[in-house]
Amino acid sequence: MAAGHAEARALQTALKLGVFEALARSDASADALAHALGCDARATGLLANAMVAMGLLAKSDGRFRLGEPARRYLLRSSPEYLGGMILFDEALWDVWGRLDKSVRSGRPARTPDMFQSRPEETFRFISAMDSLVRARGDACYLADNLDLGGVSRIMDVGGGPGTYVAAMLRRWPGMRGVICDLPATLAVARQILAEREPDVTDRIELVALDYRRDELPGPCDALFMSNIIHSEPPETNRMLMGKCFRALAACGRVIIKDHIMNAEMTEPRAGAIFSLYLLLTTHGRDYSLDEVRRWLEDAGFTAIRELAMKGGPFTSSLVVGEKP
């Protein structure tokens, strides 16, 4: 555990410098790879050797080639490209170096602006969310396992790149989707949807709003939120559940996807660790089922239940509530 940062940083650096893209079409020696990257030959060889040791590259007769995991997850052309998330983590490297200051003060290490202040930060953040969901398969899983029969309009609050809505619309051809998010995020979403989801973009409405201040545009039959509540303090989430209730038609459903923690706030492991990232960058944390249930009940929802996501490398679960 103590040395985990070394492999993470090596992977981030190799991706940032373009090691995997440089080997996408053919193998190469350390000298040739260094020339393609504009880097020092000796240092490039050391980095490439580390990638071999980590199982991302293979090496024979002094030449490096892509391993299958790198070809699947680290090439931009792959539908399961995880590089967006890795490069987002790379950009936060210095933020993690200030964790001790945040623990002492209780305040974020950077301004919690949801990466909206600069276009390049917004693009990196939204691309990271898209690449993580695609690589892990969350959107496809939900599209296949949520029964959305009878739902004519689904709203994704804080929907980011639209990865979830696009997958749901492919699965349910008669349904239309609404993505509500901040203007800078929607500019990135338009680009991603146009490039990746041309078959469903005409069924997606993009609505610019700030759910902290604005009401949600109803009515809709289902309302979905993925990884939203963990970025907000409890009082904001309580208010947001009320807005969700008002935006839903009668008998509508709210579906919340997040790390749903146990009562001790220690499981799932990924959620306990991720709460430190949230400490560094937001005013939120991951929440327990009892906390989420209380917000939903206060808003008027009934039949509240938790649904596990099974059969994949998933770390989240779902909390579903119904509007009477």
90-114 pLDDT tens trace: 999 999 999 999 999 999 999 999 9
Q: What is the pLDDT of residue 288?
A: 98
Rounded Cα distance, 15 and 70, in Å: 10
118 vs 25: CA distance, rounded Å: 34
Q: Mean pLDDT per 10-residue run, the chain (324 residues)?
A: 97 98 98 98 98 98 98 97 97 97 98 94 96 96 96 98 98 97 97 95 97 97 98 98 98 98 97 98 98 98 97 95 98
Mind giving me the DSSP string for 138-157? HHHHHHHHS--TT-SEEEEE
Query: Residue 36, exposed/middle/buried by CB under 10 A (0-12, 13-18, 19+)?
Result: middle
CA gap 88, 91 in Å, rounded = 5
286, 262 contact by CB (below 8 A): no
Q: Rounded to whole angstroms, how far apart are CA atoms 178 and 194?
A: 15
pLDDT at 31: 98
Cα(193)–Cα(49) distance, integer angstroms: 37
pLDDT of residue 151: 98
For residue 281, with 0-12 CB atoms within 10 Å meaning exposed, 13-18 middle and 19 or more buried, which class applies? buried
Torsion, CA 293, CA 294, CA 296, CA 301, rounded to 10: 90
Predicted TM-score of the model (pTM): 0.94
Which pLDDT value is given to residue 306? Answer: 98
What pLDDT does 239 receive?
98
How much is the pLDDT for 21?
98
Domains of the chain: 4-76 (1.10.10.10), 111-322 (3.40.50.150)
In Å, the largest CA–CA distance within the chain is 68
R_g over Cα of the chain: 21
Which DSSP category does 78 fall into? S
Of 257, 324, 321, nearest in space to 294 by CA? 321
pLDDT score, position 56: 98
Q: What pLDDT shows up at residue 166?
A: 98
